[in-house]
Amino acid sequence: MDLVRVALDVPLSRFFDYRLPVGESLSSDDIGRRVRVPFGSRSRIGIIVELPATTDASPEQLRPLEAILRDLPPLPADWFRLTRFCAAYYQAPLGEVMLSTLPKGLRRTDPPKARTPKRKATPPAAETPPALTEGQRAVLDTIVDPAADKPASAAPASDFAAYLLHGVTGSGKTEVYLRLIERALAAGRQALLLVPEINLTPQLEARVAARFPQAGLVSLHSELTEAARTRAFRAAFLGEARIVLGTRLAVFTPLPDLGLIVVDEEHDASFKQQDGLRYSARDVAVFRAHERGVPIVLGSATPSLESWANANAVFNPPGAKSAEARPGTRYTLLSLPARAVAGAVLPPLRCVDTRREKLQDGLSAALLAAIGERLARGEQSLVFLNRRGYAPVLSCTACGWVARCTRCTANLVLHLADRRLRCHHCGFEQRIPPACPSCGNQDILPFGRGTQRIEEVLSARFSEARIVRVDRDSAKSRKQWEALLERIHGGDADILVGTQMLAKGHDFPRLTLVGAIGADAALFAADWRAPERLFAQLLQVAGRAGRAGLPGEVLIQTEQPQHPLYQALARHDYPAFAAQQLAERAQAGFPPYAYQAMLRAEAPLMEEAIAFLSAARAWPEIASHTAVMCYDPVPMRLARRANYERAQLLVESSSRRALQAFLTPWREFVAATRVSSRLRWHLEVDPLEF
Ligand code: ADP
Ligand code: ZN
Ligand code: ZN
Residue-wise DSSP of 486-541: HHHHTT--SEEEE-GGGTSS---TTEEEEEE-S-GGGGG-SSTTHHHHHHHHHHHH
Signed CA dihedral, 668, 669, 674, 680: sign only:
negative
pLDDT tens digit sequence for 534-552: 999 999 999 888 877 788 9
Q: What does the alpha-carbon distance between residue 653 and residue 632 come to, in Å, rounded to a whole number?
A: 15
Stretch 476-489: mean pLDDT, rounded? 88
Q: Inform me whether the pLDDT recorded for 123 exceeds 70.
A: no
pLDDT band of residue 505 (cuts 50, 70, 90) is low
Q: Is the pLDDT of residue 1 over 80?
A: no
Nearest ligand to the CA atom of 426: 3
At residue 163, φ and ψ (nearest 5 deg) are -120, 140
Average pLDDT, the chain: 92
Whether the ω angle into residue 74 lies within 30 degrees of 0, i.e. cis, is no
Q: What is the pLDDT of residue 27?
A: 94
Q: What does the pLDDT look like over 374-432, one tens digit per residue?
A: 999 999 999 999 999 999 999 999 999 999 999 999 999 999 988 999 999 999 999 99
Among the residue ranges 188-202, 384-398, 602-616, the one predicted with the least confidence is 188-202
CA distances, 19 to each of 92, 126, 592, 595 (Å)? 27, 53, 48, 43
pLDDT of residue 157: 72
**For residue 278, what are the contacts with CB-CB under 8 A and spacing of at least 6?**
90, 272, 682, 684, 685, 687
Q: What is the pLDDT of residue 117?
A: 65
| Nearest-CA residue for atom 9 of ligand 1 | 172
Give the Å distance between the CA of 645 and the centre of ligand 3. Answer: 12
Tell me the pLDDT band of 574, cut-offs 50, 70 and 90.
Answer: very high
Largest CA distance in the chain: 86
Question: Residues 6 or more apart from 207 whose CB is under 8 A from it?
Answer: 174, 178
Q: Among all ligands shown, which has an atom nearest to the Cα of 398?
A: 2
Which ligand is closest to the CA of 405, given by its number? Answer: 3
Query: Is the pLDDT score of 92 beyond 60?
Result: yes
Closest CA to 242 of 181, 158, 166, 329: 181
Q: Which of 52-61, 157-166, 500-509 has the lowest mean pLDDT?
A: 500-509
Do 636 and 600 contact (CB within 8 A), yes or no? yes
Span 555-578, mean pLDDT? 95
**Beta carbons within 8 Å of 171's beta carbon, 6+ residues apart:** 135, 301, 336, 337, 338, 339, 340
CB–CB of 514/384 below 8 Å?
yes
Residue 633 CA to ligand 2 center (angstroms) comes to 37
**Mean pLDDT along residues 498-502:** 89
- Reported in sequence order, the residue ranges of 248-392 that DSSP labels E, i.e. its strands, are 258-264, 295-300, 331-336, 349-353, 380-384
Residue 533 · residue 688 · CB < 8 Å: no
> Quick one: pLDDT at residue 327?
36
As a residue count, the chain comes to: 690
- Ligand 1, pocket-test mutation among 165, 174, 180, 544, most atoms within 8 A of CB: 174
* Cβ atoms of 419 and 502 closer than 8 Å: no
For helices 201-211 and 478-489, angle between their N-to-C axes, nearest 10 degrees: 70
Q: Answer whether residue 316 shows pLDDT above 50.
A: yes
Going by CA atoms, what residue is nearest to atom 10 of ligand 1? Answer: 170
Q: Is the pLDDT of residue 90 over 70?
A: yes
pLDDT of 151 strictly over 70? no
**Test site for ligand 1: of 175, 211, 334, most ligand atoms within 8 A of the Cβ:** 175
Q: What whole-number percentage of the chain has pLDDT above 70?
A: 94
> Is 184 strand, coil or helix?
helix
- Percent of the chain at pLDDT > 90 equals 79
pTM of the model: 0.93
Please state, in angstroms and rounded to a whole number, the distance separating the CA atoms of residues 501 and 474: 11
State yes or no: pLDDT of 607 exceeds 80: yes
Q: Which of 591, 449, 599, 448 is nearest to 532 (CA)?
A: 591
pLDDT in tens, 647-673: 999 999 999 999 999 999 999 999 998
Nearest-angstrom CA–CA distance, 122 and 145: 30
**Which atom of ligand 1 is found nearest the CA of 548?**
14
Q: Is the dihedral of CA 221, 223, 224, 227 positive or negative?
A: positive
Is the pLDDT reported for residue 152 higher than 60? Answer: no
**What Rg value do the Cα atoms of the chain yield, rounded?**
27
Question: Tens of pLDDT along 321-335?
Answer: 444 444 334 899 999
Say whether pLDDT at 338 is over 50: yes
pLDDT band at 154 (very low <50, low <70, confident <90, very high): low
Give every CB contact of residue 643 below 8 A, 6+ residues apart in sequence.
407, 604
| Contact criterion met (CB below 8 Å) for 284 and 273 | no
Residue 502 has pLDDT above 90, yes or no: no
CA of 545 to the centre of ligand 1 (A): 14
CA gap 454, 381 in Å, rounded: 13
Ligand 1 atom at shortest distance from the alpha carbon of 133? 23
Residue 133 CA to ligand 3 centre (angstroms)? 51
Question: What are the pLDDT digits (tens) for 266-286?
Answer: 999 999 999 999 999 999 999
Amino acid of residue 132 = L
Q: What is the pLDDT of residue 328?
A: 35
H runs (alpha helix) in 629-683: 656-672
Ligand 2 centroid – CA 606 distance (Å): 30
Q: Is 50 exposed, middle or buried (0-12, 13-18, 19+ CB in 10 A)?
A: middle
484-514 CB burial, b ≥16 within 10 A, e <16: bbeebeeeebbbbbbbbbbbbbbebebbbbb
Q: Which of 292, 300, 321, 316 is nearest to 163 (CA)?
A: 300
Q: pLDDT at position 525, please?
A: 84
Give the C-alpha separation, 219 to 199, whole Å.
12
Lining ligand 1 with CB less than 6 A are 130-133, 136, 167, 169-175, 340-341, 507
SS3 label, residue 580:
helix
pLDDT category, 124, cuts 50, 70, 90? confident
- Please tell me the number of the ligand nearest to residue 131's CA: 1
Distance CA 565, CA 588 (A): 18
Ligand 1 center–CA 174 separation, angstroms: 7
